[in-house]
Structure formats: structure tokens, C-alpha cells
Structure 1
Amino acid sequence: MKKKLLIVGGLLLLGFALFSKEIKQGAMRNMDFAASVKIQEKIDNSSRLRTARLIGEVMEGSTFFASPEVSVVAVLVLTAFAGWDRKKKRIRWQAAVISALFALLVLGEVYGKTVVHHPAPPFFMIKNPTTIFPKYYINDEFSYPSGHAARAIFIAVVSYSLFVIRYSRKKRILWMIGGFAAYVALVSISRIYLGHHWLSDILGGWLLGGGAGLISLATLSKLQQ
């Protein structure tokens, strides 16, 4: 099982590299725009005009735990939790792989933003361009890959390996997996709806975060035994 997870994780990271190359060459431009327009129209049309801004605020809030600052804290907490063997009262250094792979994820995001040069959605597509915090006045020049999508799926996979496998009853595992998957989906759709990312940015984030997460899961699986 561990070997399979490592292989799949490695293939996802390879897929990220190959997909990034295609995006740099202009792949998915028409599909990106069509998907963004469709998602924004569907969500806006399903709500009343007076609640449209509220929906935007809710979606902005849903990405809180996938923000850079909160994600760093979450990763450090997960690393500390996995790194302490409560039975034997000793440090398990294998847990450092969580932080190491998160650092790899960050490097992948930096690579995408500085090398792929995929233009972000235009300003007119951004929902709620200003909020309480000035840093959310967002119109970054390049948007690939989505760091929020990558961080969300990475933290979801690591949390699954540490908490669901160890503590949950078998009947509850599917519900918790569904919860993690729903959160990743909500964050991803929110980034498109809010006008911060294209569909291709989200897919790139999934490949990057999913690959790093599965390699982490393979390494941590030994700690669950």
C-alpha cells in the first residue's frame, strides 16, 4: 500500500510538471473563461440579488483555513502531533516529512507563479474586491497554480492520515472523507467564483497538493501501525 501511494503521489507531481508546461503554452484558455463565467452565473442566479454579496463573503471565509498564514500554523501543529509518540514518550522524526513536503508544495507554487506566467482573471471578474482587510484587494498578475486548492487538499490528506485512520470507527470514515472532500471542493469552487483563479489553476493545485499529500500519507502510514 505504501509503495502504491508513493507511486501515485510521484505521478501526480510529474503530472503537475507536465500540466504546468501545457498551461505555459496557453492550454485551456477558452475552457478557463467559459468555466469561470458558468460558475459565477450559476451561483449568482441561484441566489437573490440582495444576498449575492453575502455569498461572496461566505465563500471568502471558506478559504480561511487554506490561507498561507493559517496553513503554516496547521502544518506545524500536524507535524508536532505526528512527531510525538505518547506511548513511548519519544520524538518520531519521520513526522518532519509533513513540513518538508509542505515546503515542496510552496516551492511548486512559487515555480508556477514565477515561471509559468499564467495571467490571472481580469479585475472585472473579481467578486468582493475589497473586504475588511486591505490584503484582500486582490488582482495578482499571475494565478497558476492555486495555492489555496493545493494547501486545502494537502492538509485534508495529512489530517486524514493522522486522525481518521487512527481514531475513527470504520462506519464514520466515509463520512469524514466526504467532509474533507467537500471542503476541498468548496475552497476550489470559491476561488473560481470569487474571480481569483481559473479552472486550470485549481487543477494544477490539486495535482501539486495531492501529490505531496499522498507521499506524506505513505510516509505517515508507518506511524499508524
Structure 2
Amino acid sequence: MISLDHLPDTWRTPRAVTLAVCAALLLGLFSWLAVTAPAGAGLAVFDSRVSAWAVSLRTPPVSAVMTAVSALCSTPGLSALTVVGVLALAWSGRRGQALVLAATMIGSSLMTVELKRFFGRERPSTATLLGEPEHTLSFPSGHSLNTAAFACVLAGIVLFSAARLMGRALAVVGAVGLAGLVGVSRVYLGHHWMTDVLAGWAFGAAWVCLVALAVLWLRGRRVPLGEHRGAGEHGGEHGGEAGPAEAEAAVGAVPRLDGAGAGPQE
């Protein structure tokens, strides 16, 4: 049997297990899309039909909204939102969260460039394109990947804070809504195939799960084992390392870092 004793306590909690399972599932979905979509197999057989259907739904008001949404989460737009978010968190004394947001977005932007270069999938024809042609490659959708990362990390900060249930629910709905709307806009405007968007969502969300796991790891390594003593069979004056339940209580809300003291997207 594989021993987990070498792992920090923060990696032996339900929260860490959930993050690891989600990351594995999302990366599995991305890998499947990465293999099948460029070859026109799997869900990619529906790409052309979905794009044609999206074109058939175009109206001037909807097109204006989709164009605005896509522009908001373009490279300049999302970079500005990230800077505002980082500054707001730092100004409020939550420097750890500001660092997590900045690191998440820098990482997602760099990976967007490399993933596009690696897979080399061409964009849909410009015949039905709304707006100016973009000269980067198609898979995965950078708008979708980076917006998913941005929305998920902000939602995670709320979820793992002391926010009330309603606040947490609104954070999840807002994250899903923003990422979903941006992805839909990319297909509607003719910039991406459906599978480009699905892959972007999957990788962006998986990246946030991995960042959260990294934060858990760092917190576990930072906290002295003496602070993780339990009272039961591990307790007493000579208690040992705490189990997952004690660790979960000890580290508190994650990723929080105690609350004190971006690249091409198209």
C-alpha cells in the first residue's frame, strides 16, 4: 500500500482530495479533446453544425452584446481586470490572495501561448466571422481558458473564505456565467470551434485546481507540526501529527494565505 505519511496534512483533507479529483477529470477531458478535436473526431464532428447554428441566431443586438463580452475578456480587458483584482486584494490586506490571483493569470496566459503553438489547429473560416480576423491559432480558446481561470480563482477565494452561503452561491453562479458567456461569444462570433472553447474551459478550471493544491501544499509546509496536535489517540502531551480532520480545521479557509502580510488570449 502506498503511504501518504510524507504528504503535508493539508493534502490529506476532503478539500484536497476534491481538488485533485476535479483536476484529474478536467485534464482528462482536455486530453481527450486535444487528441480528437484536431483530427475532426469525437465532439469535433459537431463543430461545423454548432458554428452554423450559432450564425443562424445572429441579430444586431445579440451581436453587439457578444462583441462587448468578447472584448471585455480579451488580452487587454482581462489584463486590466486582473490588475484591478490584485490591487484591490492587496489594498484590503489580503496579499496572499492577490499573489494567488496574479500567479494564476500569469501561468494561464503563458500556457495559452504554448498550448496553441503545440496543437497548431487552424481557426474556422473567416467567411462568417464577425469582427477582425485574429492571427493566433485556435486550440484551445485563449479567451475561454483565461476567463475560466480568472473566474474560478475569484470564486475560489470567496468559497474558501468566511462568506455566507448566499455569497458563495453567487460566486459560483457568477464564475460559471462569465466563463460560459465568453465561450459562447467566441463560437457565435466565428473565432473558434466549439471544441476549442470546451478545451479552454477544461484546462482553465483544471489549472485553478492545481494552483489551489499548490497553495495547500505551501500552507502545510509552512505550519509547524506542533500546531497540528490532536487530542484523541494522537493527543495528549506527546501527541503526534494531526489527521485530515484536524488539519482541515487548523489551516482554515484555503486558498487564503491568512489574508495578510497576462499574455495572448485570442
- For the pair 1:33 / 2:28, whether they are aligned, the reply is no
> How many angstroms does 1:120 deviate by?
0.8
2:256 aligned residue: 223
1:186 aligned residue: 181
Structure 1 CA distance for aligned equivalents of residues 133 and 174 of structure 2: 29
Structure 2 CA distance for aligned equivalents of residues 188 and 106 of structure 1: 16
TM-score by length of 2: 0.66
> How many angstroms does 1:144 deviate by?
1.1
> How many angstroms does 1:167 deviate by?
6.2
Are residues 29 and 8 of structure 1, via their aligned partners in 2, closer, same or farther at CA, if it must alter by over 3 Å? Answer: closer
> How many angstroms does 1:18 deviate by?
4.4
8 A contact 1:158–1:213 mirrored in 2: yes
8 A contact 2:86–2:101 mirrored in 1: yes
Higher share of residues assigned helix: 1
2:231 aligned residue: none
2:129 aligned residue: 126
8 A contact 2:158–2:167 mirrored in 1: no
Equivalent residues in 2 for 1:56-75, closer than 5 Å: 56-75=63-82
Structure 2 CA distance for aligned equivalents of residues 187 and 78 of structure 1: 19
> How many angstroms does 1:57 deviate by?
1.7
Are residues 213 and 141 of structure 1, via their aligned partners in 2, closer, same or farther at CA, if it must alter by over 3 Å? Answer: closer
Structure 1 CA distance for aligned equivalents of residues 79 and 210 of structure 2: 18
Percent of aligned positions that are identical = 23
8 A contact 2:155–2:168 mirrored in 1: no
1:166-222 Cα distance to aligned partner (Å, 9 max, x none): 364313432342232222221111110100111010011011111112233443714
8 A contact 2:144–2:197 mirrored in 1: yes
8 A contact 1:82–1:162 mirrored in 2: no
2:26 aligned residue: 12
**For residue 175 of structure 2, what is the amino acid of its counterpart?**
F
57-66 vs 186-195, which moves further = 57-66
198-207 vs 137-146, which moves further = 137-146
1:133 aligned residue: none
1:22-41 Cα distance to aligned partner (Å, 9 max, x none): 33333344311011112222
Q: Tell me, which stretches of 5 or more residues in structure 2 are unaligned?
A: 1-14, 217-253, 259-266
> How many angstroms does 1:81 deviate by?
4.6
1:170 aligned residue: 165
8 A contact 2:55–2:188 mirrored in 1: yes
- Partner SS, residue 210 of structure 1: helix
- Partner SS, residue 120 of structure 1: coil
> How many angstroms does 1:116 deviate by?
1.2
8 A contact 2:70–2:143 mirrored in 1: yes
Structure 2 CA distance for aligned equivalents of residues 63 and 167 of structure 1: 32
TM-score by length of 1: 0.76
Equivalent residues in 2 for 1:199-218, closer than 5 Å: 199-218=194-213
8 A contact 2:151–2:175 mirrored in 1: yes
Q: Tell me, which stretches of 5 or more residues in structure 1 are unaligned?
A: 45-51, 130-136
